[in-house]
Amino acid sequence: ETGVTQTPRHLVMGMTNKKSLKCEQHLGHNAMYWYKQSAKKPLELMFVYNFKEQTENNSVPSRFSPECPNSSHLFLHLHTLQPEDSALYLCASSQSGDANTQYFGPGTRLTVL
Amino acid sequence: QKEVEQNSGPLSVPEGAIASLNCTYSDRGSQSFFWYRQYSGKSPELIMFIYSNGDKEDGRFTAQLNKASQYVSLLIRDSQPSDSATYLCAVNTRGLSFGAGTTVTVRA
């Protein structure tokens, strides 16, 4: 595997389910990010991790819970989601530092019923 | 005021023409600027980044940055049908802030 991978690519869940999204980067980066892309809206930054430490939480509801066990892996745990949370969830990675280019994974298309 | 604003589009250009995309940003302290291309159903892919005032060219793409005016643009020369996509302007402030994107259609 190369670059940034995400699993699953598609997920359908009910509002009472608990599921997790996984992201893995093979680029040797030390910063990882979660973004949300809803239809007709700009990409929204959700969380930022630098060297496994969360450095940014962009006022995301607590039903989204990130986890970063090491610099290569990032998870987004989901529970009691709402239909309006249906979106494309994108993971990205970069070298730490604002100036560095972020590379995106293919995304997980989430549908909440 | 939105952090990053792009001309709303959609933008339709004939094959071989120049497509011009514009972006303004609100944080005067921003230092790095990116253009991403996103095909329908796919994730964003980096086209160019620019840090310094002036022009930066890469193949058919030219990025222009004017920090005094808080303005960044992307020119696509000799547009091809494969350039048809949504182009996202992004500004790095504690993670990337994205514009809403401009959808470009290149007519064969």
For the segment B59-93, what is each residue's pLDDT rounded down to a tens digit?
Answer: 999 999 999 999 999 999 999 999 999 999 999 87
Amino acid sitting at position B13 = V
Contact of A41 with chain B, judged by CB distance below 8 Å, is answered with: yes
Contact of A101 with chain B, judged by CB distance below 8 Å, is answered with: yes
B95 closest CB neighbour out of A56, A101, A106: A56
Do residue A98 and residue B31 have CB atoms under 8 angstroms apart? yes
Read off the pLDDT band of A1 (50, 70, 90): low
For strands A10-13 and A108-112, give the pairing. parallel
A43 closest CB neighbour out of B42, B46, B88: B88
**CA B53 to mean position of chain CA atoms:** 15
Q: Is the alpha carbon torsion for A37, A42, A46, A50 positive or negative? A: positive
3-class secondary-structure state, position A54 = strand
Read off the pLDDT band of A79 (50, 70, 90): very high
Do residue A99 and residue B31 have CB atoms under 8 angstroms apart? yes
What is the signed CA dihedral for A56, A19, A86, A30, rounded to 10 degrees? 30
What is the signed CA dihedral for A102, A107, A112, B2, rounded to 10 degrees? 30
Whether residue A33 is predicted with pLDDT greater than 60 in this model: the reply is: yes
Contact of A66 with chain B, judged by CB distance below 8 Å, is answered with: no
Contact of A10 with chain B, judged by CB distance below 8 Å, is answered with: no
